[in-house]
Structure formats: C-alpha cells, structure tokens
Amino acid sequence: MSETTPTQASGIDTAAIRAAAQNLSDGPVTAGYKGDREAVLKMLNDALATELVCINRYKRHYYTVSGKNNAAVKAEFLEHAGEEEKHADWLAERIVQLNGAPDYNPATLHERSHAEYDESLEVQSMVRANLIAERVAIEAYRQMIEQIGDTDPVTKQLLVKIMAEEEEHADDMRDLLE
C-alpha cells in the first residue's frame, strides 16, 4: 500500500498550486478561477455605472437642497455620495484584478446604470428618489451575488459588503421620509 503525502491527504491539488505560479501577467486570476469572467466583468461594470450615477444624484441633491431645517438631510446626502464613491472605487479595483477595464464612459452611464439620475428640487422628492435608487441597487446586488454563487468568492464577498452599505443607505433614506 502506498503512503499518501500530507498535501494529497488534505485534498489540496499541488499540481494546480504549482500551475498558479505560471502566467504571472494574469495577476490574481489563476487557472482555478471558476467564474464566467466576462459575465462577472459586465456585472461589475454595470454596478460601477450605477454607483457613478448614484454619486452624481447624491451630489446634485446635496448642492441643491436648501432651507435652514434641511442641514441633516444635506449632510446625509454628502455622506452617501462619499460612500457610493468608495463602492465605485472598490468595483473598479476588482474589475482590474479580473483583468478587465473599468468603464467610466459618461456617454453610456445612464443606459448601463440600474438606478436613475434625479433632478428633484423638493427635499422629500429627493429623499424618495434616493430611497428608490438604494432599493434598486440592493436588488441588483442581490441578483449578482446569486448569479456568481460560489464561483468567485472574492467578488461575491465584495458585493455582499457593498449591498450591506446600500441597505444602511435605504434605512437612512426611509428615516428621512415624512
């Protein structure tokens, strides 16, 4: 009877590990990557477009909301714009890690975004538009997470992290509704 090496006994494929040392130009994408990279890149770029539209919407609302009683709402809009920008940065970084190119093309943002831009001038209309956009983003991230499943654990983890913050944003906007 032959003796089993510790790496084989643990279920680790040492040949695959050694193969990962090849193709260094692929960066973190190894032959063991199980996701549909092109589909994941498309989802991530669409999510990036959504975050960029959300940044613009929150910034517009921040600069156009007025009234002495709206300081807290204005601050919330600015905070959310910053957090959406952080999400966009995370998504762009992941796209590059997967050997893709982040799509910042302003001409196609609206058609790729899951959320809508909004030009409301009334505070409650702004809050409502932001709550709708957050709910749309939550559902979009939920569907992306479901589609990716366990084929790309790093992207899945990132999307779960972003979705959790989007849920906090939705809760904040709901609290601001009158």
Residue ranges of the annotated binding site are 51, 87, 134, 166, 169
Q: Can you say whether residue 4 is alpha, beta or left, with left for phi > 0 and alpha for psi between -120 and 50 degrees?
A: beta
Those residues whose C-beta lies under 8 Å from the C-beta of residue 43, and which sit 6 or more positions away, are: 144, 147, 148
Q: Per residue in 67-90, is it b (16+ CB within 10 Å) or e — as a string?
A: eeeeeebbebbbebbebbbebbeb
- Least Cα distance to 134 among 74, 68, 95, 76 occurs for 76
Q: How many residues does the chain have?
A: 178
Q: Are 96 and 118 in contact (CB under 8 A)?
A: no
Nearest-10 crossing angle of helices 37-64, 153-176? 20
Indicate the DSSP class of residue 69: G
Q: Are 156 and 164 in contact (CB under 8 A)?
A: no
Q: Which residues are annotated as a binding site for Fe cation?
A: 51, 87, 134, 166, 169
